[in-house]
Chain A
Amino acid sequence: MQFIYSGITSGSIFALVALGFNIIYNTTGIINFAQGEFVMIGGMLIYTLLSIYGIPLFMAVPVALLLALIIGILFDKIFIKLVKVPNEINLITVTIAAATIIRGLAMVIWGRNTLNVSGYIPYSVISFPGGSLTSNSLLVIAVSLLTAFSLSLFFKKSSLGKAFRACYNDKMAASICGVDVGHIRMLAFGIAAFLGVVAGIVTAPITYVTYTDGVMVGLKGFAAAILGGLGNFWGGVAGGLLLGIFEGFFASILPSGYKDAFAFLIILFVLFLRPMGLFGKKKAERL
């Protein structure tokens, strides 16, 4: 049973990263390979604010989130907007380049060492039937799900959120109706970075922060988004949780060396059976 609890913990992080992927995918049609780097930056920012500048937590978190929005917007302005021929493959590669730059800068700024962020709430172990979770893990799950819910509310209720959804459905139509698509895309990167930084902040006490962390978490988030069906909001969340549980499950029943192979094998099988992911809709092909 333990694998379910630990799976949900890591899965909720994958879910947040997958949401970041989905938001950018829906507004630009590309996969942002730097999404994982946002998570790493989140950890680094909170470390800097808390441990180096000694800012109290209730101030540090909003500052980090604000910085996240700025980073996301700059990301769009510097990398995405400038691309001369913004076709899919160029945009994807530019995000790979951006990820390399961010990782390189993080190494220069924060060094190669793993950094430790102390827990935000007192450490305790909470027992569940057949396993246990730490208070920090519970915080991760709670914050992730809360973030996902508030984001879905934002998309459903606010007018800005509605403009976002209009962009998902039809960019041309949205721009005709007065939605500034460029503006929305910029905000999409802002929100994606925001989500990444939230993930980075909540996980930092459990997983520590190293400048190379972004690669794996990005990859897993991508896998989660695909598993759930690219562009599908709750699909991303479900994909993340499922991936986390798969990983824990395989680690607990198989020789653990093979666990990653089996997690990916499951994703492959899902794709073979449902080429658009578990909850993805087949796009009507315009013939």
Chain B
Amino acid sequence: MKKLLLIGMLLIFATGSSFAEYRLGALFSTTGPASFLGMPEKQTLEMLVEKTNKNGGINGEKIELFMYDTRGVDAEARKKFIRLVKRDNVNAVIGPTRSGSTLAIKDLAEKFQVPLLSCASSDKIINPLNKYVFKVAPSDKHAVRKIYFYLKTKGMENIAILTAQNGFGDSGRDALLSEAEKMGLNIVADEKFRDNDRDMTSQLTKISERNPDAVICWGVGPAPAIVAKNFKQLQIEAELIMSHGVASKKFIELAGDAAEGIILPAGRLLVAEKLPDSSKFKSMLVDYKNEYESTFGESVSTFGGHAYDAFMIIKKALLTAGKDKEKLIKSMEEITDYIGTYGIFNFSKKDHNGLDKDAFILIEIRNGDWELLES
């Protein structure tokens, strides 16, 4: 009985679609462990869509946004992607937040022939290349290279890594291990932690016994802040380096004094105001930052920047190509010299990311704020 009713309801929902506007889909992980990556992405996109619509939309047509929460669960991302494509008939999809979720829907994007602009970092998203899948977040290896170059110039060779047991930490760990081999650095310790671990002293004690020159921690959420605190508590004499996963003011707030002196690779957005005036990124980043912070009353995060870039790219493509999916792909592949929050995007048929290692800059935390370590 109930099942019949259910099907009836499903049918009513199924017939309610219209095709007037540009229909944009988005999948972000706004709950679950990756929520503090997903939330700024969601808010940024909402802000941009609203603004665009207020200013007359694209080619005079309004954008309708369909946005779902993946809860950080890959199966959920898959479900919601099908929903976007088959129920909401979207022209393109931005997201998902997490690498795992993106990989989970990679084949669907091809099957349904819908352009997907992922906000996740794993290299596997664009390699092997899938005609319909783009990535606006820089790859982990770019961040890792940036760190390793820095360590090399400082003459540090023995490195300990401490990575989160999730997709972010895992793909970071892969990059850390493979790039270390290429650049001739020694990984002296390879430890892990879980997102909900609340004490890392055991791992850090083990690390400190190996006397590394630098400890690189790759994780998101509150756990890296606890690593920073425990690191200080154990008085380990090594340089502590974090990933771009902590590039939000929240991290400094949580880690407090323990954050002082930590170095991390991050997008330029964090230090927008501190960029030299000559930087071509400055005005655009400051604008986005101010707009975001005044709209939502919280500090901007570089992850929101991914949504910003993704929206700008899709907007550009829609402006020139319209809704036709093949044309849309082609026009995205032709985008070059787009100045995004993470660097200059140069897409091509073979490169669906368009960023290089200069997407990242190194930042040091000093006096509770981000400072540019080098430009």
* A contacts B directly (C-beta below 8 A): yes
| Interface residue ranges, A against B (CB under 8 Å) | 2-3, 5-7, 9-10, 107, 112-114, 116, 118, 123, 125, 131-134, 203, 206-208, 210, 212-213, 215-216, 247-249, 251-252, 255-257, 259-260
Which stretch, B201-209, B264-272, B355-363, touches the partner chain A? B201-209
Q: What are 8 A-B pairs at a CB distance below 8 A?
A: A7-B202, A10-B198, A10-B199, A207-B198, A207-B226, A212-B33, A213-B196, A252-B203
Set A125, A215, A259: member contacting B235, Cβ < 8 A: A125
Are A6 and B199 interface neighbours, CB within 8 A?
yes
Chain B residues near A210: list those with CB within 8 A: 221-222
Complex Cα–Cα for A247 and B226 (A): 17
Set B193, B196, B205: member contacting A131, Cβ < 8 A: B205
Chain A residues near B31: list those with CB within 8 A: 107, 112
In this complex, which of A134, A251, A255, A259 has the most chain B Cβ atoms within 10 angstroms of its Cβ? A251
Are B199 and A116 interface neighbours, CB within 8 A?
no
Are A6 and B202 interface neighbours, CB within 8 A?
yes
Chain A residues near B234: list those with CB within 8 A: 2, 132
Chain B residues near A125: list those with CB within 8 A: 233, 235
In this complex, which of B31, B198, B225, B253 has the most chain A Cβ atoms within 10 angstroms of its Cβ? B198
B39 within 8 A of A: yes
Of chain B, the residue at the smallest CB distance from A10 is B199
Are A206 and B193 interface neighbours, CB within 8 A?
no
B280 to chain A, nearest CB (A): 32
Complex Cα–Cα for A125 and B234 (A): 8
Chain A residues near B102: list those with CB within 8 A: none
A97 to chain B, nearest CB (A): 18
A208-B201 CB under 8 A given contacts A114-B222, A132-B233: no
B149-167 with Cβ < 8 A to chain A = 165
Complex Cα–Cα for A125 and B258 (A): 13
Interface string of B164-203 (1 = CB under 8 A from A): 0100000000000000000000000011111010110111
| Interface residue ranges, B against A (CB under 8 Å) | 30-33, 35-36, 39, 165, 190-194, 196, 198-199, 201-203, 205-206, 221-222, 225-226, 229, 233-235, 250, 253-254, 256-257
Complex Cα–Cα for A247 and B198 (A): 11
10 cross-chain pairs, A with B, having the tightest CB-CB distances, nearest first: A251-B202, A207-B198, A257-B192, A252-B202, A216-B196, A2-B205, A114-B222, A6-B201, A112-B35, A256-B191
Are B202 and A116 interface neighbours, CB within 8 A?
no
Complex Cα–Cα for A213 and B196 (A): 7
B67 to chain A, nearest CB (A): 15
Complex Cα–Cα for A245 and B235 (A): 22
The secondary structure that dominates the A interface is helix
Are A116 and B165 interface neighbours, CB within 8 A?
no
Of chain A, the residue at the smallest CB distance from B234 is A132
Are A3 and B205 interface neighbours, CB within 8 A?
yes
A3 to chain B, nearest CB (A): 5
A206-B198 CB under 8 A given contacts A3-B205, A131-B205: yes
Are B199 and A248 interface neighbours, CB within 8 A?
yes
Chain A residues near B205: list those with CB within 8 A: 2-3, 131, 252
Complex Cα–Cα for A14 and B349 (A): 55
Complex Cα–Cα for A2 and B165 (A): 22
Complex Cα–Cα for A113 and B253 (A): 12
New contact pairs (14) apart from A203-B198, A207-B226, CB-CB < 8 Å? A7-B202, A10-B199, A113-B250, A114-B250, A118-B256, A131-B201, A132-B234, A208-B222, A212-B33, A216-B196, A251-B202, A255-B191, A255-B192, A256-B193
Of chain A, the residue at the smallest CB distance from B32 is A212
